[in-house]
Amino acid sequence: MRSRSAILLVLLLTLASCGDPPRPSPIPPPAPAVVAGYFTEWGVYGRDFRVKNLQESGAVKRLTHLKYAFGKVDAGRCAAGDKWAAFGRPVAAADSVDGVADTPATPLKGSFGQLRKLKAAHPRLKVLWSFGGWNGSAGFTEAARDPARFAESCRTLLNDPRWAGLFDGIDVDWEYPNACGITCDTSGRTALTAVLAALRASLGADALITAAVPGDVGKLRATDYAGAARYANWLGAMTYDYFGASTGPNDRRTAAHSALSAYPGIPRPAATTEATVAELLALGVPAAKVLVGVGFYGRGWTGVDGAEPGATATGPAPGKYGKGIEDYRLLAGRCPPTGTAGGQAYARCGAQWWSYDTPETIAAKVAYARQQRLGGLFAWELAGDTPDAALLTALSGA
């Protein structure tokens, strides 16, 4: 019989030969639940971007939510914007989702009719009607004086017999409550909360109610966004346009307009996606209700004197649809990236300098949203993507 000490020695040698027990692999953060994109009402004109493009590019398979922008806030009530584009303009067979042309007898024409066809083909897609926007937010001040009347008008509009059932909810794009956009609002810190609470009471628990919120930290502190979040499915942070060739005192120096993080020489260290998200979380907004915004366009300067961010410029670069701005689909080949700053690409081409996101920089933003366990990401706006939806594919984490 072996001695007790011999048996103990055998056991120790056996354990040593087995090595450390295997450790379980860490659980990766979940993929963002929401992949949303704005479809602009005016895109059917100059950009010739139609609902059918979402199907042809494959974008509809990546999207969880589509936001139709914009309805109006008129006299404190929800109203249709461009009625011709939305539901009056006949769509030819070649431009139709199902290849069938609108006729005089078609009950719902325009983009609304096409969205109805798109939803029928992709029933998991949710569609929201977005109201306001940069040029259309002044009406929210009056809406905030009587939120119940505003909410009732929105419910009535969504249930119009011509398109009843098309929209799954409402997006409030108020730029900005209790702060300044084109005009200044002084409705108070709780105005947005009251508007969203009234919408929730009117539309019900199952409706989707969302809001776009500023990327600027100072504007975030002007409103009770934690209170607003209680009634919203999510808040979409507009984490872009921090800089541009006509946006403030630093508009004559190049800068990444939608940096993920700060970089040496950034004009305002808090003008980043990370800073905006950190502020929202510090204010008490749940991470699962925060969406990161990604611009599908670039901001550009001309007359630049250097290739790196911070170079002096003479003004905004020319763009097809406006000064100092250009869709990614046009920039990608014409002015390809020459570097990155704070997680956003930039490009020097001749006298011009542009900053914009690419599939690679968007992938880093998706990884950040996952790491922070945020609710998802959204795109402003879908017409800026390539014909094969390269940016949206990256936004979906594919």
pLDDT number for residue 8: 41
Opening angle at CA 374, ends 371 and 376, nearest 5: 110
Q: Are 148 and 197 in contact (CB under 8 A)?
A: no
| Sign (positive or negative) of CA dihedral 184, 190, 192, 198 | negative
Does residue 41 carry a catalytic annotation? no
Residues 37-90: tens digit of each pLDDT: 999 999 999 999 999 999 999 999 999 999 999 999 999 999 999 999 999 999
pLDDT number for residue 211: 98
- Using CA atoms, how far apart are residues 296 and 270, in angstroms rounded to an integer? 22
User: Which of helix, strand or coil describes residue 255?
Assistant: coil
Left (φ > 0), alpha (ψ -120 to 50) or beta: where does 373 sit?
left
Tokens (6 digits) for 34: 């929401």
Residues 259-303: tens digit of each pLDDT: 999 999 999 999 999 999 999 999 999 999 999 999 999 999 999
User: Residue 146, Cβ neighbours under 10 Å: how many?
Assistant: 15
Rounded to the nearest angstrom, the gap between the alpha carbon of residue 10 and the centroid of all alpha carbons in its chain is 64
pLDDT number for residue 12: 39
Catalytic choice (175, 274, 279, 381): 175
Tokens (6 digits) for 86: 């939305």
pLDDT above 70 as % of the chain: 91
Rounded to the nearest angstrom, the gap between the alpha carbon of residue 34 and the centroid of all alpha carbons in its chain is 10
pLDDT number for residue 11: 41
Tokens (6 digits) for 161: 């017999």
> Is the domain covering 30-296+358-395 a CATH 3.20.20.80 domain?
yes
Tokens (6 digits) for 261: 């993080």
pLDDT number for residue 65: 98
- Using CA atoms, how far apart are residues 272 and 240, in angstroms rounded to an integer? 8
pLDDT < 50: residue spans in the chain: 1-22
What length does the chain have? 398
Residue ranges per domain, the chain? Answer: 30-296+358-395
Tokens (6 digits) for 287: 């991470």
